[in-house]
Structure formats: C-alpha cells, structure tokens
A and B are shown apart, each in its own frame.
Chain A
Amino acid sequence: MGKWTRRGLITAGVVAGGALAVGVAIRPGHRVPKLSPLVAGEGEQLINTWVLIGSDNIVTAIVPHSEMGQGAQTALAQMLADELDADWNLVRFSEAPAEDEFANYAVGRGFILGGQTFPGLLEPTIDGAFLQITKALHLQITGGSASIRATGLHGMRMAGAAAREMLAAAAAEAWNVPVSEIVTQNSVLSHASSGKSAPYAEFAAAAGANAPPVHPTLKTTDQFRIMGKSVQRLDIPAKVDGSAKFGIDVVVPGMKYAAIQAAPVLGAKLKSVDTAAAKAMPGVHSVVELDEAVAVVADGWWQAKQAVAALSPIWTETPADGASSDSIYAGFKQDMDKAVAEGKEEEDLSKGDARGTLKSAHRLIEAVYKVPYLAHACMEPMNATALVADGKCEIWLGSQNPLGTKHAVAGALGLDADKVTVHNHIMGGGFGRRATDDTSLQAALIASKAGVPVKLIWSREEDMRHDHYRPAATSVFRAAFDESGAVIAWENQFVDKHEPKEAPHIPYDVPNQFIHFANSPTHVRFGPWRSVDHSQHGFFTEGFFDEVATAAGKDPFELRRELLADKPRHKAVLELAAEKANWSAKRVAGSGRGIALQQSFDSIVATVANVTVDAAGVRVTKVVCAVDCGFAVSPDALAAQMESGILYGLTAALYGEITIDKGAVVQGNFNDYPMVRMNDAPIIEVHILNSGAAMGGGGEPGTPGIAPALANAIFDATGHRIRELPVSRHDFNFKVEEEEEPHKPITLQQMGA
C-alpha cells in the first residue's frame, strides 16, 4: 500500500425510520487547501462509505464503487458485514449516488497508480482520459483494482466495526451491564449472565445518539467469519433472467435513439455535412452536428443507424492523416534512438552501473519487443441516455466514474454540477474503458440540441474505432553476463510511461540496472486498459528475462527463483505455480511450458502456460496460476477474476491488434478484432496463497502474466522467440523440433568490450 497516514473520520446518526447510519470518511495525508485543485497529488483523498441498519434489522452497505462484473460490491459488503457481526442473510448493498459526498478520491489516486506514493501523477506523459479525470477531482472511480484494498480495508471494515461498537455501547447502557460483556453475533446483541438479547434494530436509534468511536477495533484474520468465504455474488441472480438493467437498457419516457459517426481520424473535426438525405429517411427526427461527430436522432436505433450511414460528412485535415502503425513504430524508434544518442534518456530506475557493465561484459544479449494498440471491446457497446430540459440534465449510463461524469457533463453543458444527475448502472464490461466520459458528453449535447431525451448507442464499429487504446509500445533490452554465466546487467529502454510507475521494474536481483524511456507522443488517445502499463511491460520484461535464463543456460523457473532470494512472497508464489504445474516434468514433443511472474496492484501472480504447437498454430491447453493478494476476501470471486484476467490477456496475446492506416483505426468488429472463444479457452487452475500481507487488488493482476507465459511456452515448444504480439502474426508452419531437451541454446549476438 501507499504510505498514507490514515485518519478515519467517523460520523453517525439516525435517519428516517430509525435507521442507524454510520459513515466513514478516510482522509489520508493532510489537506493542503491552497494547492490548485488541478493538483491531485496533494489534494484531499476521501473514501466515503456508509452502513445503514434499518428497523427491519436489514443491514445496507452503501458502496462507492460500480459493478462491471468484478464482484467488488459483494466483497465490500462482506467486509462490512463481518466487522459488524451481521447475519449475512440480512445484508444488502446499494451503490452510492454520484454525489461529491460519496467520492472516493483515494481510490482515484490508486487508480492506475497501484496504491503507490507519488508525485508521478502529473508527469507530462500522462495524457488523455486519466488526466481529465484527475483534474476534475470529482472521483468516484472504480479501477486500479482498488475497491478492496482501499475502500474495503479502510472504509467498509471501519464502518462495520464502528457500528458494531456503537450498538454494543447502546445495549450495555440500556441493560446496565459492562460493554465488554456484550456479545454481537448474527445481527443480535446478547448478554449471557442476564440472558438479555435483542436484534440490532432495537438499538439502532440509541446507538445513533452516541458518539462514534474514533478508532474502532478491527478483527484479526482468525476472527473473520464472512471474509474469506466464497459467498454467492449478490448481483448474479439478475444476470441470468434478463432482468439486470445495464445502461443500454434504460427507458426514459419520450426518448429517441441516436446513432453516431465520429471523425475517423482521432483529432479531426466535422467540417461540413449534407444532412438532406438522412433527414428524409423514415423515422428520422433530426441530424445533430457536434465538433467531432455527426449524429442522427430517430424513433428507433436501427433507423438512426441506417440514416447516419447515409451521411457523407467532410472532416478537417489533421497532421495525423498520413499516420500508420508503421510510421508510429518508426517514430518510436527515432525518438528512442535520439534520446540515447543525445544522452537524454528519461531515467526510470538506475542501480549500479549497467551501461559500464554492458560495455565490459564477457558477453551480452539484446532484443527488441513490440506490442500493438489494443481496444477494450466491452461486450456492451458504449452508450448513454440523456435528458436535458429546464436548465437541468439527467444522464443514465454505466460508468466507472459516475461522479466524474456528473462534473464533465455539467462543464460541457455550462450547468452547475448540482443541476446534473447521474443514474449509474451496472456495466457490460469496463476494463478501464468506462472511466472516460466521451459518450456521455455526446449524449448530453445531442439531447440538448435535439430537444428530446436521447439514448445514444455506438455501433460496434464506432466503439472499436473510437476507443481510448492500450498504447502500442516497444522495449529494447540488453543484458550482460559474467564468465560464470551470471546476469550482471539489465538495460531496458521503452517508449512512453504511464502508470503504475513500477510496471517496467523486475523483481529479480540483478546488480546493475538501467531502465529508461523516451517520450514519443502519437495522435492515438491513451486509455487505461486492464492492468494498464503492466499489460505491455509484463510481456516485455518476463519475455526477455526468459531469454536471459536461456542465455545463462538455466531453467527459467530456477533462475527466477535464484534471483528472488530476498523476496519471499514472490518466491513462494513462483514455487507454488511451478509445483502445481508440474514444472519439472519432461515435455513431450510439440508441447511447451512457460512461466512468468508479475507483481501488480499489490498482488503477486505467477502464471504457467502449457501449449501445443503444430502447423495449425498454437493451442493453450492449460494455465496454472498462483496468486498472493494478502488475503482473499471471497476466494471464488478472486479465482473468477484470475480466470477472467488471464482470458482477457490471452485474447490480446493471441489475436489483439489494432492497426492504424491513414490516421484511422482499421479494425471494426469481432470479425477483424477476434476474441478467444470457448474453443480456444484453456483449462485454468487458480491457487490462492493467503500470505497475510496487506491486501492487494484482484481485477487486473491476472492479466499481465499470460502473454509472457505463453511466449515462453512457445519458445519451449519450438525454439522460436515471440518478441512481438499478437502471436497470430507469427508463422508456425514450420517443423516442430522433436528433441526433448527442454531449453535449446539461442544464437547470442556477441559484442566485444
């Protein structure tokens, strides 16, 4: 965790119906009111969580996080209920409204930053979505795998424990017995020697009259009854009968539907458009011109989509009109080479003398790694519904940042924020995409101009081509060995740094390291994509480290293990994965096994991929994963997140590639941006290591390890190094070597001193 000095501000009172309401606002650090509100780095952080205990003895956890399938709302309720000694069957949750009082600034900072201390937030390399959000300081973000480790640990548990102590104090007072003799269990207060007992509800009002404890006592792990149990997720029943309401399902009386066509080249503006043909089409209400897009509003979405496709808008020219994936990679190389030539490397981490060691080394290896842009491709295409009337706006959508949406929409419409109401919904996939506000701003502007409530739905093609992308990236590695074969230097130059800051770092004990980057901005907008920078650096560093092991003549698992002597958690996770994957077993011809280790969002994950390779291509047969997130609040939900993170990363590793041509994104739908389907899906084993360390995240840490584990497994099977993703770019139509020697030597590029 970051180094916050936590100061919980606990408030309590009685609300309508006699319910006890306990709120916890955590303000870590100190307020520096004079700092510009643009500087999130030292601004106020707030996690605001609430618990209500009603007269019906129902406990309601009010959760400042949205649900996109990660199960956080249930796990957060578990944390609160356990500290409260509540009867789990009487626990409900509801999502906090998008109001400033329920902001979770702390999580916003943790978002992408992985709970690290910083000032890295305002580094010039951070662009696009995250900076916008951060600037706004109206964060209610769900992201950064932070719900449990931030809000859960410091908000939900605190609120539950405080409420429990207040109830016990109220009962002790009424029964005239020492509070230490009050037992709380299953939402009932009892006192053994007097035989008195009462449901929580009976003392809710009295408890609300007491001052809340400043430092409620939290349970120790051995006292947990609900945490650590795989309870059924509370959101699942509505997701099997069609009753769950996503943003796209909203119905607002009198609403019309909008389809949109935005400028194909990101950054271009609408110059002109002949709207006559579209306006004449059946069901069309109006054509709305926006700065960067044109939309058609119609009685039905199908009609709107047909009509918007009939438009031939003219877009402004931009400097990026000639850009292609090739020109973007060439720009990366040019900027990286220039930084080295001019000695202007941006230092990320420096330890010992890597450059000097490389120069005088007995031998060295080098390699260039490369990944393309990636789209999020949430199953629910981006959408938002807006009603703008009487100087007010209502927005319905699924957002990872509903409070940010509120303020962004207010800004776009020139309204005060208190005139904007956001109705947040569960999301059909988020993965970082739904932390940005582009669709809600469009919907608000279209509704405002059309004068009717409008549900804007992006087509799949619009969604694919106007994402905020996981950036294309490249890394240039060099490693040096001494005469004994020990790796003594590691240099990694990469392009563009976002967050988390530690993503490019390796856990291994290499004495001389120089990790640095060059900035090489492109017109393609950046977005946080499940695990953010870990998604590329996990592949880069763990892929190249495997090459180091091969060059050193070592087993890749054994060398990792050797160089983790001072990192017991990493070592334990690695060993557990290797043991469960039967790492030491001999491979059969045509198959391979690869391992990778990655710490992200305060959790450590080791991944072993098993593959078979033949002329038909690569098949991932089984993935074994070990994870240490400190303590698994809901083990099955954590396992589900690991399975999900692995498959999300596997789709990217096998197939994921967004290319740029003439400045625009080429791919448009699942036919040219393919997904892993059931026929490609490996068996996945998840082994959870409850080490007792501070809690880490669950939503993202499964993703970074699969690409390198897969690449390393392909090398194991074929001797062919995958240094560029996706794997589908590579030709496996070659003879698979039959020998059983697990690790074959590669040709080293020898360089003199």
Chain B
Amino acid sequence: MIDLNINGRILQVDVDPATPLLWVIREQLGLTGTKFGCGIAQCGACTVHMNGLAVRSCVTPVSAATGSQIVTIEGIGIDGQLHPVQQAWIDEQVPQCGYCQSGQIMSAVALLTNNPSPDDAAITDAMQGNICRCGMYGRIRKAIQRVSVPAPQQLDNAVSIHEPSLMGFKEVQHG
C-alpha cells in the first residue's frame, strides 16, 4: 500500500511503486482531469503540483510522490469557487478542444504562485513545456497577464470586424 496526499486527502493505493503517478490519479483515484498526452514529459498535459511545483505525472513514479502534497486540476479551486486562473481562462475564452488545458492551468498556477508578476519571458519559460495543439498560446498568455499583479499592458492577439460601406469597408469594432 502506498499513501498519497491528493487534493488534501490521504488515500491509499495498491499498485506497483514504479507506476507513473498519472495512471494512479486517473485509474485508481478516478480523477480524470489530469490527461495523458505523450508519456515522456514532452507535452505537459499530465501536469500536477507536487509541493506547489509543476511536475509531469506521466514520468513521476507513484513511489516518488509519497510524503508530498499532490494537487490536481480538481483540487485547484478555492472554497468551491474557481481559482482566479481558471476564471481568467473563461474570460479569455482560452480552451478549444480543452484537452491540454488542465496541464496549462496547473503550470500557470504554479508560475503565479511563485511569481505573481511574471514578465513575458517568465511566462514563456514556465509555459513552453505545455503543448496546445489548438495553438491558443496567445490567449493563455493573456489569461496569465490578466491574473498577474499588476496586469501589464497586453500586446497580444487583436481582433477587428469590418463591414461593407459606401467607401469600401469600414471598421465597426476593434478589441
């Protein structure tokens, strides 16, 4: 039996100690928000927190997780409310398919916990281990900036709408 502290609960699992933490979280504990993407720590979909640091659970043997506080996407909310990073993800309409987003959010929360005012380089550094195949990096950056203190001026992706007019096309919305 292996003792695990997951999302503040002490749980016992009966598995091979070499089993990656990812599969224990998903299969034994039924917490499926943490995703399998590559199995070799290349994509970040399996990111969880171990004592506040972002780790790739697909290459972390469950035996290495004993004695640590593990937090998954299901445990990131505060008093039943969304974590501010999760809310920022909604406000910026970040997810498309959404599969990588648990891992992205876990990486972002770990970053902001340790550095509440990350500059562009710090954001890139913390987030480049997480692949988003839908390519929502611009929105992820904006969402992180939204939670940063103080929020920096946003220079990223912009959208405008144009409609036909007598003089060709006129811009009707910019934001």
Interface presence of B16 (CB below 8 A): yes
Interface presence of A257 (CB below 8 A): yes
Interface residues of chain A, those whose CB is within 8 Å of chain B, are 68-71, 232-233, 235-246, 248-249, 251, 257, 282, 300-303, 377-381, 426-431, 457, 459-460, 572, 576, 580, 632, 635-637, 639-640, 643-644, 646-648, 650-651, 669-671, 675-679, 681, 683-692
A607 to B19, CA, bound (A): 47
Q: B137 touching A302 by the CB < 8 A rule?
A: no
In the complex, the chain A residue whose C-beta lies closest to that of B156 is: A683
In the complex, the chain B residue whose C-beta lies closest to that of A464 is: B38
Chain B residues with CB under 8 Å of A644's CB are 96, 134-136
Closest Cβ–Cβ distance, residue A656 to chain B (whole Å)? 12
A678-B127 CB under 8 A given contacts A426-B98, A636-B93: yes
A685-B77 CB under 8 A given contacts A380-B99, A635-B173, A670-B131: no
Closest Cβ–Cβ distance, residue B76 to chain A (whole Å)? 8
Interface presence of B123 (CB below 8 A): yes
**Chain B CB within 10 Å, residue with most, of A580, A670, A689:** A670
Q: A684 touching B128 by the CB < 8 A rule?
A: no
Chain A residues with CB under 8 Å of B160's CB are 580, 685-688
Closest Cβ–Cβ distance, residue B65 to chain A (whole Å)? 14
A640 to B155, CA, bound (A): 16
Q: Could you list 9 examples of A-B contacts with CB < 8 Å?
A: A68-B96, A69-B134, A232-B93, A300-B19, A576-B162, A640-B136, A648-B134, A684-B157, A685-B157
Q: A460 touching B95 by the CB < 8 A rule?
A: no
Closest Cβ–Cβ distance, residue B33 to chain A (whole Å)? 2
Chain A residues with CB under 8 Å of B32's CB are 242, 245, 248-249, 251
The count of residues in chain B whose C-beta lies closer than 8 Å to any C-beta of chain A is: 72
Chain B residues with CB under 8 Å of A636's CB are 93, 159
Closest Cβ–Cβ distance, residue A576 to chain B (whole Å)? 7
Chain A residues with CB under 8 Å of B82's CB are 240-241
Chain A residues with CB under 8 Å of B40's CB are 460, 669-671
Within 8 A of A (CB), among B28-85: 28, 30-40, 42-43, 45, 72-74, 76-77, 82
A455 to B160, CA, bound (A): 45
What number of residue pairs across chains A and B have CB atoms under 8 A from each other?
Answer: 217
Selected contact of A647 from candidates B26, B28, B135, CB within 8 Å: B135
Given contacts A675-B131, A689-B163, A690-B163, 18 further A-B contacts (CB under 8 A): A71-B96, A237-B90, A238-B98, A240-B89, A240-B105, A243-B33, A302-B23, A381-B37, A635-B159, A643-B139, A644-B134, A647-B134, A651-B135, A677-B127, A678-B141, A679-B128, A687-B160, A688-B161
In the complex, the chain A residue whose C-beta lies closest to that of B137 is: A681
Chain B residues with CB under 8 Å of A651's CB are 135
Interface presence of B112 (CB below 8 A): no
Q: A236 touching B72 by the CB < 8 A rule?
A: no
A648 to B135, CA, bound (A): 7
A683 to B33, CA, bound (A): 29
Closest Cβ–Cβ distance, residue A303 to chain B (whole Å)? 8
Chain B residues with CB under 8 Å of A690's CB are 161-164
Selected contact of B93 from candidates A70, A236, A647, A675, CB within 8 Å: A236
Selected contact of B124 from candidates A68, A240, A678, CB within 8 Å: A678
Q: A686 touching B38 by the CB < 8 A rule?
A: no
Q: A379 touching B37 by the CB < 8 A rule?
A: yes
Chain A residues with CB under 8 Å of B100's CB are 379, 428
Closest Cβ–Cβ distance, residue B22 to chain A (whole Å)? 9
Q: A683 touching B138 by the CB < 8 A rule?
A: yes
Give a binary string over B129-161; 1 marks a CB under 8 Å from any A CB, 0 the rest: 111111111111100000000000001111111
**Chain A CB within 10 Å, residue with most, of B86, B158, B161:** B161
Chain A residues with CB under 8 Å of B20's CB are 302
Q: B138 touching A684 by the CB < 8 A rule?
A: yes
Chain A residues with CB under 8 Å of B30's CB are 251
A240-B131 CB under 8 A given contacts A300-B23, A380-B99: no
Closest Cβ–Cβ distance, residue A380 to chain B (whole Å)? 5
Chain A residues with CB under 8 Å of B135's CB are 643-644, 646-648, 650-651, 676, 681
Q: B133 touching A675 by the CB < 8 A rule?
A: yes
Interface presence of B15 (CB below 8 A): yes
In the complex, the chain A residue whose C-beta lies closest to that of B88 is: A240
Give a binary string over B1-38; 1 marks a CB under 8 Å from any A CB, 0 the rest: 00000000000000110011001001110111111111
**Chain B CB within 10 Å, residue with most, of A301, A427, A457:** A301
Q: A678 touching B98 by the CB < 8 A rule?
A: no
Q: B42 touching A669 by the CB < 8 A rule?
A: yes
A685 to B162, CA, bound (A): 14
Q: A688 touching B159 by the CB < 8 A rule?
A: yes
Closest Cβ–Cβ distance, residue B162 to chain A (whole Å)? 5
Chain A residues with CB under 8 Å of B43's CB are 379, 670, 675
Closest Cβ–Cβ distance, residue A110 to chain B (whole Å)? 21
Chain B residues with CB under 8 Å of A650's CB are 135
Selected contact of B35 from candidates A302, A379, A647, A691, CB within 8 Å: A379
Q: A239 touching B101 by the CB < 8 A rule?
A: yes
Interface presence of B166 (CB below 8 A): no
Q: B124 touching A69 by the CB < 8 A rule?
A: no
Chain B residues with CB under 8 Å of A242's CB are 31-34, 72-74, 102
A429-B99 CB under 8 A given contacts A572-B168, A679-B128: yes
Interface presence of B97 (CB below 8 A): yes
Q: B157 touching A643 by the CB < 8 A rule?
A: yes
For the complex of A and B, list the 3 residue pairs with the smallest distance between their C-beta atoms, beginning with the closest.
A242-B33, A647-B135, A428-B99
Chain A residues with CB under 8 Å of B90's CB are 232, 236-237, 240
Chain B residues with CB under 8 Å of A241's CB are 33, 73-74, 76-77, 82, 86
Closest Cβ–Cβ distance, residue B34 to chain A (whole Å)? 7
**Chain B CB within 10 Å, residue with most, of A68, A251, A300, A580:** A300
A459 to B20, CA, bound (A): 14
A427 to B99, CA, bound (A): 8
Q: A240 touching B95 by the CB < 8 A rule?
A: yes
Chain A residues with CB under 8 Å of B127's CB are 677-678
Chain A residues with CB under 8 Å of B37's CB are 379-381, 460
Q: A378 touching B128 by the CB < 8 A rule?
A: no
Chain B residues with CB under 8 Å of A244's CB are 98
In the complex, the chain B residue whose C-beta lies closest to that of A283 is: B16
Q: A69 touching B93 by the CB < 8 A rule?
A: no
Chain B residues with CB under 8 Å of A688's CB are 159-162
Chain B residues with CB under 8 Å of A683's CB are 138, 155-157
In the complex, the chain A residue whose C-beta lies closest to that of B96 is: A69
Closest Cβ–Cβ distance, residue B175 to chain A (whole Å)? 9
In the complex, the chain A residue whose C-beta lies closest to that of B23 is: A302
